[in-house]
Amino acid sequence: MKQAKATAHTRLIKILKQNSLNITESRKKILQLFLEQDGALAHGDIEKRAGEKFDRVTVYRTLQTFVNKGIVHIIPTADNAIRYALCKDDCSEVGHDDHHIHFVCDNCHTTYCLDDIVTPDIRLPKGYSGRHVEMVVEGICKNCK
């Protein structure tokens, strides 16, 4: 699996460079967690999985940097635990463009970005104008059914 690993590593570097970020251990590690993961990650998940390796503050700052650069986006959920997920390529510092929906499993609490499902258009009441639609579906995921 040396090939795959090299490729993954290259991808990390590429993403960081594209966003004019210095290549550092913490950024590589945290970004890797996102890449090797289907779902979204909360701040706590990252601290756990990084394995005591980074300071809590570094995780906060790195996530903030990634959000600012449009590398990850925030998924709002009702349980007050902010989750982050990788953005598609069409996100950037200028603006996020994540029109897909999110899915949170009631059972395992994994959070997925369903990239292929686009948020539907909504007819708003008179006087309102929409700029962005955020949509989260709760239910049972493919692994828990």
Partner DNA sequence: GTAACTGCAAAATATTTGCATCCTT
Partner DNA sequence: AAGGATGCAAATATTTTGCAGTTAC
Residue 38 as a binder of its own copies (CB under 8 A): the answer is: no
Residue 78 as a binder of DNA (CB under 7 A): the answer is: no
DSSP designation for 38:
S
d(CA 123, CA 120): 10
Binding partner of 64, given DNA, its own copies, none, CB within 5-8 angstroms per partner class: DNA
Among 1, 57, 94, 122, binds DNA (CB under 7 A): 57
Binding partner of 14, given its own copies, DNA, none, CB within 5-8 angstroms per partner class: none
Nearest residue (CB) to its own copies, 13 versus 81: 81
Among 60, 76, 142, 143, binds DNA (CB under 7 A): 60
Which residues, 6+ apart, have CB-to-CB distance to 84 below 8 Å? 34, 40, 41, 42, 43, 63, 66, 67, 72, 73, 74, 75
10 Å Cβ neighbour count for 1?
A: 6
d(CA 67, CA 116): 22
Residues that bind DNA (CB under 7 A): 21-27, 43-44, 53-58, 60-62, 64-65, 80, 82
